[in-house]
Structure 1
Amino acid sequence: RFLMPPPGAAPPFMQFFPWPGRGALADLLRARCDAYVETVRRDLVSHLFGDMDRLVVLADLLSALHQGRAAFADAPAALAAASGALRWGRSWTDWLAALARMELPPRAIGRVAFVATKADHVAARQRGNLAALMRRLTSVPEAASAAFAAASVRCTEDVVETLGGRPVSAVRGRIIGEARPARSYPGEVPDAPPDAAFWQHRFLALPDFEPLRPPEDGRGGVPQLGLDSLLAFLLADIL
């Protein structure tokens, strides 16, 4: 909005910036920021998304685990903020606020799916742990939500290799910039927020894979992972 403002003269509340101090300037900037947020809520969010009652919340937990403790520490707070912003029900205060604005209250959220992305980057045996980790990080009504591990565009294939005479679950895909497919043994995904021992060692490796190519006959569609069960959960009660 700041780099590409709407046509016409910019309203005064568009002119604000972060300010750590206190006083009249800080109060003015805070008021303008609040006015901007309310305008976006009224004219954009409520207008475009007010009638939606099925949502998908995406989180790249694997990259956070790979980047370290500090990066992962942001995940619970971000997911908690997302959960707290959802309209789980309509109370009498919602009705009063809507009437004051001469509007109908927005629809309550019927179902929400919390999805850990890039599930194809880890071995098949670890995807259950990835979904379980997502569930541990989200505290919302069980009947209204579910946790998934999915990939909207699949980049790898599941393979089983033999290491030291024992079968090991792995993935195979084309790493960006390389000519030939490569096998990857991503490591372990914790099924709960990891303890200190997890961060002391590199338990997880995440190469950057290229997307798999669709079938040449065009009948199979774009390869994906887990979207069928995700859509089944979101739409089960209305189909």
Structure 2
Amino acid sequence: MKKIIAVTGCPTGIAHTFMAEEALKNAAKKLSVEIKVETNGASGVENAIQPADLVDIAGVIIAADKDVLPDRFNGLPVIEVPVKEAIHHPAELINKVINGEAPIRKGESTTSTEIIEKESLGRQIYKHLMSGVSNMLPFVVAGGILIAVSFLWGIYSADPNSAEYNATAAMLMKIGQQAFSIMVPVFTAYIAFSISGRPGMVAGFVGGLLANATGAGFLGGIIAGFAVIAIIYLAGVLLTWRRARQFVAAEKATALQQSQIAS
């Protein structure tokens, strides 16, 4: 029996993630294929893929609209599609993998020939945005619930000048507002994280704070998130330039020492 693994994930991590899992499992059962499916849902990663799972497999199906750490499958036959493809066409995806039609994912591999499946620019932008949205949602939900609960004491219960004022309601309102206030920074940070990994996360978060402070909102946050590409590139150029200068200085010092010894 052939064996494959799959990873599913959607921005909200509530419905499509698990619908895709169910569809793939049902299709694999009908095709007599062994499958393990990792889900990246709202509650985190479940049924995580382990290194031992990557041994003797026909390939990998990544059906996700957010970052699910695909680099761990570098060098393996991998099909990467939107999560809806796994819901509507699971059998086709499985057949492609077991028939050897999946391209080898770019990365370190002992395989001499690699076929790189390139994503369109629009698709890449969409995935980066969805990464920001999915990580921002918990703050939206938590903040909204806390603000809604504060209204149980009255519409103006958080206003100290109102007769309806209640200290508990005011506290809940304050916490909810604070959760809302970091929506844009978190959104921007995870756009940057999706693009450039951990090095870009801090720059993205600070960019989101600046977007909040200037009133630029989500549009400013999106611009700040994607501006991280330029920031990381410039940082790399500056580091390369500095190392080059240090190398030249070291060479000059070595040459001077050798000339002094020779004389």
Fold conserved (TM > 0.5)? no
Structure (1 or 2) with the greater helix fraction: 2
Class of the TM-score when normalised by the shorter of the 2 chains: under 0.3
Report the TM-score, using the length of structure 1 for normalisation. Answer: 0.26
If asked which structure has higher relative contact order (CA below 8 Å, sep 6+), I would say 1
